[in-house]
Chain A
Amino acid sequence: MVRVLERLGHTVEFPAGQTCCGQMHWNTGYQAEAMPLLSRFVEQFREAEAVVVPSSSCVAMMRDHYPKMAVSLKDEKLIADVEALLPKVFEFSEFLTKRLGLEDVGAYYPHRVTYHASCHGLRNLGLGDGPMRLLRAVRGIDLVELQGLEQCCGFGGTFAVKNADVSGAMLADKMAAVLNTKAEACTACDNSCLMHIQGALHRQKTGVRTVHLAEILAGDEGVAQ
């Protein structure tokens, strides 16, 4: 992601104090534990011109829940800070397509690839076909559409361990769809889905890799294998 943004001429900063957006705690029911991470996020990123996040579910966490969290803390300053900061927060593909209005970022990636639309990116952020448009503009890519693109892979954070059997059954469907495409790699805008899909692709020795969208867009003739 750093490589793509710098290639496009942007200056990238990485606030060292950043940790986690609190999604795992919030979605599992540990609201009290997620609360301090909100003000931490605001402190770390308040100076940024744009905050670019390589994970759609983290952005969904911020957009869907941060305003309400700030209100529940009854902290006027925090409410105002969140309101000011959130419009500057973008998921990576969203930053490219919506904020910068780009589709072709000068990438080269000569591989057969299929794209999985992560649920939070698709439904909470409304990414639509943005990531696909970015992928179509990649030179050398052989892009194959995934059947059941909008179906959840079964990760769901702690869902994958709390309901391991159902999660596994959902993952099996996703795997079958990925293998049907005969792609070398499956990509997405969310590393958590990719970690989940990759876990099964590796267990079953399929030889299919998972790569984050940013890794594909970072590819150029010099670095892409």
Chain B
Amino acid sequence: MSGVALDPKTAPPFPMAAKTALGDTQLRKNVRHATDVIQAKRARVVGEMPDWQELREAGKQIRQHTMENLDFYLEEFEANCTRAGGVVHWARDAEEARRIVVALVKASGSDEVIKIKSMTTEEIQLNSALEAAGIHPFETDLAELIIQLGEDRPSHIVVPALHKNRHEIREIFRREMNLPELGDQPQDLADAARVFLREKFLRVKTGVSGANFLIAETGGLCIVESEGNGRMCLTLPETLITVAGIDKVIPRFQDLEVLLQLLPRSATGERMNPYNSVWTGVNAADGPRVFHVVLMDNARTEILADEEARQTLNCIRCAACQNACPVYRQTGGHAYGSVYAGPIGAILTPQLQEMHHAQSLPYASSLCGACYEVCPVKINIPEVLIHLRNKVVQQNTAGVAGFFDVEAGAMKAMAMIFRSERRFRAAQRLGRVAESPLVRKDGWIGWLPGMLGGWTQVRDLQEMPKETFRDWWEKRGRNGN
């Protein structure tokens, strides 16, 4: 039932995928409109916080401290969650996490699960694994439901169906829910989803969720959401299975004071989420009788080991960077070939692939810094992008192949020129000679060869000046004398 998954291993390079996305004017219009709306809401509720910068710093400190002591807090979480009646499982990678979840669902005796929106289960393509095992997953978050019914893919961390407008959503619901008369007002769509989902909530005995935070101090878990469908998934089933990356842990319950101010304001422009669920283990009187947590590594310890990229793990998945990013706003999320799109995806995805795939993503940014400016935990995304670019260059220039790399050759040649005044002067003179066949009569260049051709797709380039600043300076003498 699910569409083709976003898989960084098989996705085309970003520039290619972006070109396709740029040709889809409806998609671009939807993405532009949605990100504009969320950004305006965010700006309003952030603007009313006099201590926003202090909050960001506090958020950063909490996350940084956690990452520096991750082993300690994970074990503390495991001990406290177990004590409260939860069962903690450890998964080294996506494959192991999928195997554990499939086995747990089977053991629960159900061949269906209701799911609350979870990017982590998207990351490991859990739905395909469940379906392959004969288990039917029902996504219950409205946006995820749209994605699932439309056999589509999520394009945004917080608003997965951001690339769809309500007319398109109506068509999906009409077709998949067999409602030929359905209108396209938000209320019509919500009503249809409510009727469709309510029956699932009441019937299905097993739930699967992600988590926003794992609280080490209490062994509790926290999920924030807007619809209440998550609350249904967390409370109605007999068995609840939560899948979370090991980066989701926080030390103390009190840390939520900071993080739950930062997250909703940054994510949806709300002062707080309509539904904030915190649960700890099992309770005989209420809620699921069986509770499992699958703590998944999936390359996160490799990221932790890289001192310069470690801050990637501080992310609390608010997607403010996606909404602010001028690249994401042009292409939407699918071009990134991963459930994690936008600036955070550009640093997270290649690292989750241990730099074996998605090497074009660190370059999918003009380094404008809009992401860093809005990040609620102050992840310096441009800095990490540059660090990862260096890793890509080191891969590309290693061995014999590197010797023939055109870009590396040009970069090394330019570096050699910049290291000497004599060579720099010569290059300025030679540059004029070299460009001369390309310069038109009006003094402009309209076509450049090879890699540089990207420039002249939509831009001209002025010829180099006949008199450089250096020439002018030397002719006039100091202070114009």
Binding site for B on A (CB under 8 A): 2, 6, 11-14, 16-17, 19-20, 22, 24-31, 33-34, 36-37, 40, 64, 119-120, 123-124, 150-152, 154-172, 195-196, 198-200, 202-203
Question: B330: which A residues are within 8 A, CB to CB?
Answer: 166, 169-170
- In contact, A167 and B421 (Cβ under 8 angstroms): no
Q: Which of A28, A152, A198, A202 contacts B370 (CB 8 A)?
A: A152
Bound CA span A161–B456, Å = 9
Bound CA span A17–B420, Å = 7
Question: B419: which A residues are within 8 A, CB to CB?
Answer: 19, 36-37, 40
CB under 8 Å from chain A, chain B span 427-456 = 444, 446, 451-455
Besides A28-B389, A163-B15, A199-B458, 7 other A-B contacts (C-beta < 8 A): A11-B479, A24-B414, A30-B415, A40-B418, A152-B370, A161-B452, A168-B457
- In contact, A14 and B473 (Cβ under 8 angstroms): yes
- In contact, B368 and A164 (Cβ under 8 angstroms): no
Minimum-distance CB pairs A-B, first 3? A156-B366, A199-B459, A164-B454
Given contacts A170-B366, A171-B459, A203-B458, contact A151 B326 (CB under 8 A): yes
Question: A40: which B residues are within 8 A, CB to CB?
Answer: 418-419
Q: Which of A26, A119, A165, A200 contacts B18 (CB 8 A)?
A: A165
- In contact, A157 and B367 (Cβ under 8 angstroms): yes
- In contact, A166 and B415 (Cβ under 8 angstroms): no
CB under 8 Å from chain A, chain B span 394-435 = 408, 411-412, 414-415, 417-421, 424
Given contacts A123-B369, A159-B366, A203-B458, contact A29 B389 (CB under 8 A): yes
Bound CA span A64–B364, Å = 21
Residue of B nearest to A198 (CB): B462
Question: B323: which A residues are within 8 A, CB to CB?
Answer: none
Q: Which of A2, A33, A156 contacts B365 (CB 8 A)?
A: A156
Given contacts A119-B368, A152-B366, contact A27 B460 (CB under 8 A): no
- In the complex, what's the smallest C-beta–C-beta distance from A64 to chain B, in angstroms? 8
Q: Which of B22, B373, B389, B444 contacts A202 (CB 8 A)?
A: B444
Question: B90: which A residues are within 8 A, CB to CB?
Answer: none
Residue of A nearest to B15 (CB): A163
- In the complex, what's the smallest C-beta–C-beta distance from A218 to chain B, in angstroms? 13
Bound CA span A150–B373, Å = 12
Question: A12: which B residues are within 8 A, CB to CB?
Answer: 478-479
Question: B369: which A residues are within 8 A, CB to CB?
Answer: 119-120, 123-124
Question: A22: which B residues are within 8 A, CB to CB?
Answer: 418
- In contact, A203 and B446 (Cβ under 8 angstroms): yes
Q: Which of A6, A31, A170, A198 contacts B390 (CB 8 A)?
A: A31
Indicate if B466 sits at the interface (CB-CB under 8 A): no
Q: Which of A29, A33, A123, A163 contacts B415 (CB 8 A)?
A: A33
Subset of 29 A-B contacts with CB under 8 Å: A14-B469, A19-B417, A19-B420, A22-B418, A25-B411, A26-B386, A28-B393, A29-B391, A30-B390, A30-B408, A64-B383, A119-B366, A119-B368, A119-B369, A154-B326, A154-B366, A155-B366, A156-B367, A158-B363, A159-B366, A163-B15, A166-B364, A167-B454, A168-B459, A195-B461, A195-B462, A199-B455, A202-B460, A203-B458
Residue of A nearest to B416 (CB): A33
Residue of B nearest to A119 (CB): B368
Question: A170: which B residues are within 8 A, CB to CB?
Answer: 326-327, 330, 366
Q: How large is the interface on B (under 10, 10 to 19, 20 to 34, 35 or more residues)?
A: 35 or more
Q: How many A-B residue pairs have CB under 8 A?
A: 162
Indicate if B392 sits at the interface (CB-CB under 8 A): yes
Interface residues of A, dominant DSSP = helix
Bound CA span A102–B82, Å = 65
- In contact, B22 and A165 (Cβ under 8 angstroms): yes
- In contact, A152 and B454 (Cβ under 8 angstroms): no
Question: B390: which A residues are within 8 A, CB to CB?
Answer: 29-31
- In contact, B14 and A163 (Cβ under 8 angstroms): yes
- In contact, A161 and B370 (Cβ under 8 angstroms): no
CB under 8 Å from chain A, chain B span 362-382 = 362-370, 372-373
- In contact, A152 and B326 (Cβ under 8 angstroms): yes
Question: A199: which B residues are within 8 A, CB to CB?
Answer: 455, 458-461
Bound CA span A150–B326, Å = 11
Given contacts A20-B418, A31-B390, contact A162 B363 (CB under 8 A): yes
- In contact, B455 and A164 (Cβ under 8 angstroms): yes
Indicate if B50 sits at the interface (CB-CB under 8 A): no
Bound CA span A30–B22, Å = 29
Question: B373: which A residues are within 8 A, CB to CB?
Answer: 123
- In the complex, what's the smallest C-beta–C-beta distance from A171 to chain B, in angstroms? 7
Question: A202: which B residues are within 8 A, CB to CB?
Answer: 444, 459-460, 462
Indicate if B203 sits at the interface (CB-CB under 8 A): no
Question: A17: which B residues are within 8 A, CB to CB?
Answer: 421
- In contact, B459 and A200 (Cβ under 8 angstroms): yes
Bound CA span A166–B31, Å = 14
Bound CA span A34–B393, Å = 13
Bound CA span A119–B373, Å = 11
- In the complex, what's the smallest C-beta–C-beta distance from A10 to chain B, in angstroms? 10
- In contact, A156 and B460 (Cβ under 8 angstroms): no
- In contact, A30 and B411 (Cβ under 8 angstroms): yes
Indicate if B9 sits at the interface (CB-CB under 8 A): no
- In the complex, what's the smallest C-beta–C-beta distance from A151 to chain B, in angstroms? 6
- In contact, B365 and A159 (Cβ under 8 angstroms): yes
Question: A161: which B residues are within 8 A, CB to CB?
Answer: 451-455
